A and B are shown apart, each in its own frame.
Chain A
């Protein structure tokens, strides 16, 4: 999981999974398209640390989403952005057919 590396600016999609338990990808970004704002650093996976499990390091990224990608017509202003920290195992490459 999450072995692929993304560079700053890379178009990505957040995995659309709804697993139970301690999860660090907020639900409102799952399945949404964005771009990597910056690559931060590897950190031990908090989703494993939370249960006292041996935690593998996962690269942490900041991913930028447009307000319209997240909220559609309800977005207050199409120029606005929401940025969140997302671990590598939640990120997949963007489908090239996705129209931005």
Chain B
């Protein structure tokens, strides 16, 4: 019965979200106060704030995927990316901002995975907003201690002879994994290759898709 809410489930089977009728928290109040002061003192405008939010929302893993695909087809670009991730991304028109980007390469022998144990540092300019699990205490604490178990829960099973390199993003660097190029992709265009590069493959919790899947 569509209008029967007794079970608190929407027609799609998900629970309804409760209305947000609670008072503002201390920090929510602080944010509003600071924002209003900045506008009142002509430091910024509501339009500028909205434009910045739009810019943040527009970022997605497609940016990182384009960088990875370029590295797969252009060995010189790959070398520049591994040497200086920020400069190489900027070549493609992607400004990673004031943070410095370090790209780490997955090979037959090495699998890289990114975590920020202290907070939730994430290469937002390349990948957009982080997934919720990336910010969870479980992911942050377990990845440095039992990365192989975490990886297996993501469906990535590594052989005993593969080295896992865990990168804890503790300060001013941001990290992106350069996943290994899938087999049998020789004939694919750069754009087709980019479509194989998932968000998780650039965090290191996944691998690039095979073209057949």
Contact = CB atoms under 8 A, between A and B. Distances in A.
A70 B170 contact: no
Interface in B163-187: 163-173
Given A76-B148, A76-B149, A86 B170 contact: yes
A87 B171 CA distance: 8
Contact of B144 (A25, A40, A82): A82
Contacts of A87: 171
Contact of B146 (A26, A76, A85): A76
A60 B117 contact: no
Given A28-B144, A70-B144, A80 B163 contact: yes
Interface residues of A, number: 25
Interface in A5-29: 24-26, 28
A76 B145 CA distance: 8
Interface in A24-69: 24-26, 28, 40-41, 43, 46, 60, 62, 67
Contact of A60 (B149, B160, B166, B171): B171
A52 to B, nearest CB: 14
A9 to B, nearest CB: 16
Given A28-B144, A40-B100, A77 B171 contact: no
A100 interface: no
Interface residues of B, number: 22
Given A24-B118, A26-B118, A83-B165, A76 B147 contact: yes
Given A74-B145, A76-B146, A26 B168 contact: yes
Interface in B109-159: 117-118, 144-149
B117 A26 contact: yes
A28 B169 CA distance: 14
A83 B145 contact: no
Interface string A69-100: 01100101101111111110000000000000
A40 B84 CA distance: 11
B163 to A, nearest CB: 5
A82 B147 CA distance: 10
